[in-house]
Amino acid sequence: MTQGGFRCQHLTVVGLGLMGGSLARALRPYADTITGGDASAETREYALANGIANRVTDDLKAGVSEADVVLLAAPVRAVIQIVRGRIGAYLRSNTLLIDIGSTKEDICAAMGTLPIGVQAIGGHPMTGKEMSGIAHSDSLLYRERPFVLCPTRRTTPAARLRALALVEALGATPIEMDPHHHDRVVAAISHLPYLLSAALVATVSREGQRDDTVWRLAAGGFRDMSRLAAQDLDMMADILSTNTQAVATLLAHFRMQLAMLEARLLSDEEGALVDLLQVVREARLSWVQTYGPR
C-alpha cells in the first residue's frame, strides 16, 4: 500500500458517465467534497439526487478551480481539447490531474505542456460495462481491475505517489508504463479486436443479404464474436484516430495470420491446419491459466 493512503479535500470529476460516475462513487469515502462536471443537466441532477456529487456544474473553470484532485473522465479528443485549452490556468498549484482516456500518447504529450506546478499523469482503467450512463455507475467497477498510469513531463515523484494511492483507493491494481508502450498494448487487446468484430459482422451481413437464414441461425459463437462491433461509434472513432499507427501495424500482422490460415485450409497436407490451430489453442489456454478470468 502507498504510505498514507489517498485523501483529498475537494475532488472534481469532469464527465459523469459510467466511468466518471463510478469514480465519484468509489472515491466518495476519501473526499470531503466532490464536484461533478457534465454538459447534461439530466446527468447533473441525477448525480446530486443520488449523492454521487455534492456540487455539479457545466462550467469547467467553476468545477476545477477549488479542487486539489481533478479526474478527466471524457473521450480522448475531448480530454486533449481540455488539456490544451485553459484548464492549466484554472488549476491551483499542486493539483493532481489524471485522465482515464483509452489512448495515452497524445494525452500525455498535451499534459506535458501544462504549467509547472500542475501534477499531471495519464491513466487508463481496464474496465467497463456494455451499458453506459451515470445510472449504471458502480462503486465496484474498478475493483481488482488493472489501472494503467503513464508519466508525463508534469509527473513529479509526489504526483506519482498520490496517483498510486488513488488507484489503490479504487481497489484497482496499478500498472505503470510509458504512453507509447501502453498504446501499442491496447491496440492489440482492445482496438484490433473491435475492428475484427466489425469485419466479421460486415462479412456475415453480406451473406445475410443473400440468405437471411444466416441471421435466424446465428447463436452464441456469433453473439460473442460480434459483441464488440456494437460499441459506441463516437468513442471508437475517437480511440482509433489517436492510435492509428499501432492499430494499422497490427492489422497488417493479422492479415498475415489470415493468409496462413487460408493456405493451411486449402493445403493437401493432412493436419496442417490443425497443427497451427493447436498452437493458438495452447496460447489461449495458457493465458487463462496464468491470469485467470477477470
Chain centroid offset of residue 192 CA: 14
Amino acid, single-letter form, for residue 272: A
**Which H helix or E strand runs over 56?**
strand 55-57
Choice among 16-20, 127-131, 243-247, 262-266 with the minimum mean pLDDT: 127-131
pLDDT tens readout for residues 158-195:
999 999 999 999 999 999 999 999 999 999 999 999 99
Q: Which pLDDT band, with edges at 50, 70 and 90, does 261 fall under?
A: very high
Quick one: which of 117, 59, 53, 60 has its CA closest to 83?
60
Gap between the terminal Cα atoms of the chain:
22
- The set of cell numbers assigned to 112 is 506535458
pLDDT tens readout for residues 26-64:
999 999 999 999 999 999 999 999 999 999 999 999 999
Find cell 439530466 and name the residue. 42
